[in-house]
A and B are shown apart, each in its own frame.
Chain A
Amino acid sequence: MTVSQEQIVSLIQGAGVSADISGIKGDASLRKAGVDSLDMMNVLLAIEEKFGIKIPDDDIDDLDTVENIVSYLRKRGS
């Protein structure tokens, strides 16, 4: 099954981030939406655990939008 934006939003919310991202657009910056650096660590861990991958530190800067996360996961075969 191909990963969807809705799935990623749900995953981010399930990671317990403080910010309300329920209506976030796919191309909106998560950081600007209030997902701080600590919450982002939790989001990345949730993605790694859900999809069974390791996300290198070098890839993190690009994962600031839901669209980018989806695109990244598809490239990684999810």
Chain B
Amino acid sequence: MIGIQAIGTYIPAGRIDNRERAPRFEVDEAFLREKSGMLRLAIREPSEETSDLCCKAFADLQRKAGLRLEQVDCIVVCTQNPDGRGLPHTSAAVHAALGLPDACAAFDISLGCSGFVYGLSAIQCFMEGNGFRCGVLFTADPYSKIIDPQDKSTSLLFGDAAAATLISDTPIWRTGRFMFGSHGQDRDAIQVDPATGKLSLNGRAVFTFSATVVPNNIKTMLEANGLSIDDIDYFALHQGSRYIVDTIRKRLGIAEQKAPFVAADYGNTVCSSIPIILSTAPAELRRIVIAGFGVGLSWASSVLYRVEQGATE
């Protein structure tokens, strides 16, 4: 059985305080606190590349899991803000920086906020198909590279961070069935504007998509797993904004403590938002829904089941 064994994270110490910038955008602290939810945004050092964020998350993973480099069969980096211009792939830079073995496969996946869930399925299938026992899924998408600081719709939301998720044959979480989807026709709703090279976001289109497609996807996925909302201990929803998390939660009829908004101090960290939540999941949680959605437009969800010690399935 392949699944998640441990998760390392890296949230840069640097912060942008949205409360200081709010007057410039004609919003008040109440709006930040109760609506967008992001009071501060984590910001990398200018010298920190995407691969550096990955390596720092990996260092945290090593501290938590005692992982040895020679054990690693494969690494996958999920990002749309790679080192340089993405050629060579960022996972090659991570492979080199960590000094991983020649036999370690390394490749990138291009996805945004749905990337952790897609990436989790992809790396598990890749490992199972090739008989691998140990892989690491990196998520690192520093949007600070593409944010226009004058753009109200994006510059108050996104923070930099990375996660390194250890996938192994001694997991503490195994996954249930996944449900994926895409609305390629709406891909312009979140894109890097070709003219400016900066992120542009159609807030209404993204909100409507999140409020309608995501709850239905979660319901369908739960049905496919033979579960209902009440069977789930916790919902790790992508932290797009407090408003989006609250809207999805209310539409599914979930209590706030089961699907909280937790990103107020670091922002929307794109594909790292879900593993950051999972990295601190209390041991008493037995079933967790993970749901990522965003760029593409794309979405994906699954259930994590806590593996009992000694279970072999």
Q: Which of A6-62 contact B (CB under 8 A)?
A: 16, 18, 36-38, 41-42, 44-45, 48, 57, 60
The chain A residue with its CB closest to the CB of B212 is A45
Q: Is B204 an interface residue (CB 8 A)?
A: yes
- Complex partner residue of B204 from A18, A36, A57, CB under 8 angstroms: A57
B305 interface residue, CB < 8 Å from A? no
* Residues of chain A within 8 A of B258, CB atoms compared: none
In the bound complex, what is the Cα–Cα distance between A68 and B250 (angstroms)?
28
Count CB-based A-B contacts (< 8 Å).
26
Contact yes or no, B35 A41, CB < 8 A: no
Bound form: Cα–Cα A38–B33 in Å: 13
Q: Which residues of B contact A16 (CB under 8 A)?
A: 250
Q: Is B31 an interface residue (CB 8 A)?
A: yes
Q: Are the CB atoms of A41 and B34 closer together than 8 Å?
A: no
Question: In the docked arrangement, what's the CA distance between A41 and B204, Å?
Answer: 6
Q: In whole angstroms, how far apart are the Cα atoms of A16 and B211 in the complex?
A: 13
Give B33-48 as 1s and 0s: 1 = Cβ < 8 Å from A's Cβ atoms.
0111000000000000
B250 touches A38 (CB 8 A): no
- How many chain B residues touch A (Cβ–Cβ < 8 Å)? 14
CA distance A38 to B204 in the complex (A): 8
Cβ of A10 to closest chain B Cβ, rounded Å: 18
Asked if B247 lies at the interface with its beta carbon under 8 angstroms from chain A, I say yes
Does B243 touch A at the CB level, under 8 Å?
Answer: yes
Given contacts A16-B250, A38-B243, contact A44 B35 (CB under 8 A): no
Chain B residues within 8 Å of A41, by CB: 203-204, 207-208
A residues within 8 A CB of B36? 38
Residue in B35, B202, B211, B250 whose beta carbon sits within 8 Å of that of A36 in the complex: B35
Contact B35 A38 (CB under 8 A): yes
Instruction: Report if A42-B35 is in contact (Cβ < 8 Å); known contacts: A37-B203, A57-B204.
Output: no
- Which A residue's beta carbon lies closest to that of B36? A38
Contacts of A44 in B (CB 8 A): 204, 208
Binding site for B on A (CB under 8 A): 16, 18, 36-38, 41-42, 44-45, 48, 57, 60
20 further A-B contacts with Cβ under 8 Å, apart from A41-B203, A45-B211, are A16-B250, A18-B34, A36-B31, A36-B35, A37-B203, A38-B35, A38-B207, A41-B204, A41-B207, A41-B208, A42-B211, A42-B247, A44-B204, A45-B207, A45-B208, A45-B212, A48-B208, A57-B202, A57-B204, A60-B204
